[in-house]
Amino acid sequence: LEEWDRREEVLLRIARELTANGRPTKVKALERRLDDPQYNPLLPVPVAIDVPEEVQVVVAERPEEFPGVTVRRDAVRAYPHGSLAAHVLGYVGRINESEFESRQGTRAEPIEHPKAYQPDSDIGKSGVEQVMEDELRGTPGVRRVEVDAKGNVVRTVEYTEPRAGNDVVLALDLELQRNTELALAEQLETARGRFTGSSGYAQGRAGSAVAMDPRSGAVLAMASYPTYDPSEFVNGISQQRWDELRSGDAMDNPLVNRAIAGLYEPGSTFKLVTAYGALKTGMITG
């Protein structure tokens, strides 16, 4: 009972510090994190992510007031070019239950994945981040420990250093990508409200553009509009912002890559394809 009261006292202090520094937090939320069965009881449980530096200082300077609490710095994704090529690059987010089970299995039937995932691991959710997840993800280090009957770590039995993942190089041309996105947005802006005859007035709300090297088929630029900033997903996106991105008319959904997932009529440019096919098969002559 005394140990439980001590835990409640520490959680209350953590909640107060986070709330005082702009991160409103309730003790109940911290308790749910600690009691979450997804987490390994022998490993640290993250009760707060992306905390203010002031909180880090307080915890580090007053260890007697926060026993068992540590602040850990982790590497996070950075997108120096903001929303540029967002649909191509994609974004990462916390692994969900189905993704976790497909890589690690369940407690009853675990899977030995070479690049072990934890319940709070980040994983590629779209774009290159998702397609190249296995290449980009590094191999976490492994520490095997010996514990006593109370679950306290006695000694480290084995330790394996972590290994970084591989680099992935794309064929995208940065300046061409930037110019393509700007030109696409400008043309859609120009098209809005333009009368198109029997089709009525153009909405100009969404579109896509792709530039390819005809010699190799390499994609040099791929733009989709509207777009989003993948840095919003770093350390997790709020439910409110997620709902904002996905709500409303599907035409305005910025998460859809319209270059590969949009439904558009091919238009007159496809006449070149059918004409070439007809010429090659002899159905028509020049």
* Site of tokens 């991160």: 23
The DSSP secondary structure of 5-16, one letter per residue, reads HHHHHHHHHHHH
User: Collapsing DSSP states into helix, strand and coil, what is residue 221?
Assistant: strand
pLDDT at 69: 87
pLDDT at 262: 84
Q: DSSP code of 75?
A: -
- Read off the pLDDT band of 236 (50, 70, 90): confident
* Site of tokens 């098209």: 191
- Read off the pLDDT band of 199 (50, 70, 90): low
**Calculated CA dihedral for residues 244, 248, 254, 257, nearest 10 degrees:** 140
Mean pLDDT, the chain, integer: 86
CA nearest to 262, candidates 211, 185, 210: 210
- Give this prediction's pTM: 0.71
145-178 pLDDT per residue, tens: 888 887 777 888 888 888 989 999 999 999 999 9
User: Collapsing DSSP states into helix, strand and coil, what is residue 155?
Assistant: strand
**Residues assigned a catalytic role:** 268
Reading the block at residue 257, the tokens are 């890559």
2-12 pLDDT per residue, tens: 566 788 888 99
pLDDT at 210: 95
pLDDT at 1: 45
User: Collapsing DSSP states into helix, strand and coil, what is residue 76?
Assistant: coil
62-94 pLDDT per residue, tens: 888 888 888 887 777 888 999 999 999 999 988
Q: Beta strands 219-225 and 122-124: pairing type?
A: unpaired
- The residues facing 122 across adjacent strands are 94
